[in-house]
Amino acid sequence: MEIKKPAIAGTLESSDAQVAVEPADSGIELYLESSVMNQYGRQIKATVLETLERLGVENARVTVVDKGALDCTIKARVECAVFRSCDASAANVPWGGAVR
């Protein structure tokens, strides 16, 4: 999928993650902040990149502010932000289709 406009999903509540995506020219630029960085930072990064890959996103600037979300939450927030940026979130959302 192509990131067409900036979009955001998720909150800054504990156990959630806020994911923002913006258009970018070449490749994935990831900015990650996490309340559990020292123990899960690399796993969160891997989860975000894997989810983007399954969604077919090749170029994007992605900002994740994680407040200790579980992997399933992170995947869902990334997916939602991408759908919103592609105007694919209004109807017939293929939830989980790409991220299984």
Partner 1 sequence: MKNAVGRDIPDFLLRDGREVYQGKNYMDGKYLQKASPRTRRYEKPQESKIVESLAEAMRQCGAKSGMTFSFHHHLRDGDYVVNMVMKAAIEELGLEELTIAASSLGNAHDPIADYIEQGKVVGIQTSGIRGRMGEVVSAGKLKTPAIIRSHGGRPRAIERGEVHIDIAFIAAPTSDCVGNCRGIGGKSNCGSMGYAMTDAKYADHVVVVTDCLVDFPNMPASVEAIDVDAVVVVDSIGNPKKIASAAARISQNPRDLMMAEDVAKVIAATPYFKEGFSFQTGVGGPSLAANLFLEKYMDERNIKMGWAIGGICGPMVELLKKGKVGKVIDVQDFDLDAVNSINQTPNHFEMSASQYANPANKGAFVNKLDFVVLAALEIDTGFNVNVLTGSDGVLRGAPGGHPDTAAGAKCCIIVTPLIRGRMATVCEHVVTVTTPGDCVDVLVTDYGIAVNPLRPDLIRCLDEAGIKHVPIEELKEKAYSLVGRPDDLQWEDKVVAVLEARDGTILDVVRKIKPYTLEED
Task: Compute the distance between CA of residue 17 and CA of residue 94 in angstroms, rounded to an integer.
Answer: 21
3-state per-residue secondary structure call for 33-46 = EECCHHHHHHHHHH
Q: Spell out, one character per residue from 12 to 51, where the chain touches partner 1: x when CB under 8 A holds, - when not.
A: --xx----------------x--xxxxxxxxx-x------
Minimum distance, C-beta of residue 10 to partner 1, in the bound complex (Å): 14
Q: Spell out, one character per residue from 63 to 82, where the chain touches partner 1: x when CB under 8 A holds, - when not.
A: ----xxxxx-----------
Residue 8 CB-half CA count within 13 A: 8
If the CB atoms of residues 74 and 82 are measured against partner 1, the closer one turns out to be 74
3-state per-residue secondary structure call for 71-89 = HHHHHHHHHHHHHHHCCCC
Minimum distance, C-beta of residue 63 to partner 1, in the bound complex (Å): 14
If the CB atoms of residues 6 and 33 are measured against partner 1, the closer one turns out to be 33
